Amino acid sequence: MTTRLVTMDANDTLTAAAQEMRDSAIGDVVVTDGDDVVGIVTDRDIAVRGVAAQRDPDRTTLREISSTGLVTVSQYDDAVAAADLMRTYAVRRLPVMDDGRLVGLISIGDLAVEREPQSVLADISADDPNN
């Protein structure tokens, strides 16, 4: 689980999110509305749902392109439960919640490092970002 999370407000722009991802060397931000987690936006979302759809990145908000209807896990769930949820719902990231509070994010790469440390995906996921 990653605990070094970046959250951004649902009303922040795509430009702001892209700059944050670049500066933090990450590929996603958790989207919030007040204290509520309302979505996730990835760098791919910005490219496909934003730029490719010819949306103005300085005016389009994260709320408009974020993946919503999030599937979450508890911090007490194990890696097998997380992997099963990812498989069932075809998602690559799961917010980790504790009493309705965001405490982490588990990605498919995190699971690879935990469950298959010798795999190519684990090697890639464990490496430092190259951007």
Task: Please tell me the pTM assigned to this model.
Answer: 0.83
pLDDT at 112: 74
The rounded mean pLDDT for the chain is 87
The b-or-e profile of 57-89 (16+ CB within 10 A means b, else e) is eeebbbbbbbbeebeebeeebeeeebbebbeee
131 residues of the chain, pLDDT tens digit each: 788 899 999 999 999 999 999 999 899 999 999 989 999 999 999 999 999 999 999 999 999 999 888 999 999 998 889 989 999 999 989 999 999 899 999 988 778 766 665 554 444 455 555 45
Number of Cβ within 10 Å of residue 99's Cβ equals 7
pLDDT at 115: 60
Question: Tokens representing 61?
Answer: 């908000």
Residues in the chain: 131
Map out the domains of the chain with their CATH numbers.
7-126 (3.10.580.10)
d(C-alpha 79, C-alpha 12), whole Å = 32
Q: Among residues 33, 24, 84, 23, which one has the least CA distance to residue 62?
A: 33
pLDDT at 124: 47
User: What backbone torsions phi and psi does residue 73 show, to the nearest 5 degrees?
Assistant: -125, 160
